[in-house]
Each structure stands twice: as C-alpha cells, then as structure tokens.
Chains A and B, each alone.
Chain A
Amino acid sequence: NAGVTQTPKFQVLKTGQSMTLQCAQDMNHEYMSWYRQDPGMGLRLIHYSVGAGITDQGEVPNGYNVSRSTTEDFPLRLLSAAPSQTSVYFCASSYTATRIVPGELFFGEGSRLTVL
C-alpha cells in the first residue's frame, strides 16, 4: 500500500520559474492538504481540499495554486517561484472530509524545493 506519494523529492528552481509538485494517495481519502515546513515555524497549511472539485486556502496560500480533479490527486503549482518559497513541502491526506472530527493526517515523504 503506497499511501501518499509525492514527486519530485528534490527540485532546484530559478526565480520566476513555475513548477508543479505532484501528490497522489491510494487510500480513498476525501481530505487532502499541502503544508510547508520551515525551520522554527513548524508546518503551515498552504491549501486544502475536502473532495474532488473543492479547494480552499490555508494559512499561507500566496504564490501557490491547487486543483482537485480526482479523489486521488492534489497537485500544488508554484506560479512564479521566489526564494521565499524555498522550503520542504508535505502533502497529507485524511479520511475525514467534513472535519467535524478531524482524523489524523497521513503524510507523504516530502519534497525539498530550493529557489535560487
């Protein structure tokens, strides 16, 4: 069982370039999210989705775009990369769509992005 799969694991970009971080889960989870992890700041929510066709912003959405065309996939797009977006990105999913009772998050292995 693969769980949550993220690609690529490492990426170096130049300022102004765009790219997409891929995330797929095979657990039929309705809830999916993207976090970024920066030293001393824990994990901060970028965007999330409670089901196919539904997305919303988290705490730090600027500079990022998401879509959810299927239950399995939740790609994160960097529109015009900036050095401030250098970070480790984690995709996560959960079985609780409504979040009335939030389930634990299942995380991917992370994607380390460097923007020069």
Chain B
Amino acid sequence: AQKVTQAQTEISVVEKEDVTLDCVYETRDTTYYLFWYKQPPSGELVFLIRRNSFDEQNEISGRYSWNFQKSTSSFNFTITASQVVDSAVYFCALSEPNNNDMRFGAGTRLTVKP
C-alpha cells in the first residue's frame, strides 16, 4: 500500500535561512508520481510540483528545489533564502497509475520569522 511520511511536524526558521522539508514514501509500484502542495494560512491548497518515478533529475524553480532519490525513497523540498511568505503547511503526496487515491503525508508546518 502507498504511504507518505513527513516526519517534521513543524519547522521554524529566520528569514533568509535555507530550509529542507523531508518526504519519504512507500510504494510497490515501479511507476508512480510524487507531488508537493502548499497550504498558506488562508487555507487553500496550491500545487507546486509533480515528478514521475522515471525522472530523477532534480528540479529548481526560483528559490524552490526538489531532490528526488529513489534509492532512499525520498522527495525532499528545499527553500533557499526563505521569506515570510513561505510560511505555510507543505504536503507531500504520492499517486500510483490507475489508483484514484492520491495519498498525502501529514504535512510540515513551516514558519519563517522576520
């Protein structure tokens, strides 16, 4: 069965620090998809990235980067030079082909202090 673990419940950093959010997943499938979503204090959920299991290249988008390592079943998310607006709950999620249950981790609450 698919499972996503975000061991960090809460992280607090000071603005401009780099921060990494960990995500470890379990799946029996060789083909699967990983996602990150952001939930700011306003409550809506916003899609950040999707990565398939055959693409292990790291992805960078501005201050955001993602490190996918199949060997350790991890899909970690790094924010460089954090800003107050990055304060949010971040969810990692896993989806398998033909499986309609996108499984979410418990989320990591990130607080960036000025």
Binding site for A on B (CB under 8 A): 4, 6, 9, 33, 35, 37, 43-47, 50, 52, 91, 95, 97-102, 104-107
Contacts and interface: CB of A to CB of B under 8 A. Distances in A.
A42 B105 contact: yes
Q: From DSSP, what is the main secondary structure of chain B's interface residues?
A: loop
Interface residues of A, number: 30
A13 to B, nearest CB: 20
A41 B95 CA distance: 17
A33 B101 CA distance: 9
B13 to A, nearest CB: 21
A66 interface: no
A88 B89 CA distance: 15
25 contacts: A33-B100, A40-B106, A41-B106, A42-B4, A42-B104, A42-B105, A43-B91, A45-B100, A48-B100, A48-B101, A56-B100, A58-B101, A59-B101, A92-B45, A99-B98, A99-B99, A100-B97, A101-B33, A101-B97, A102-B33, A102-B97, A105-B37, A105-B47, A107-B45, A110-B44
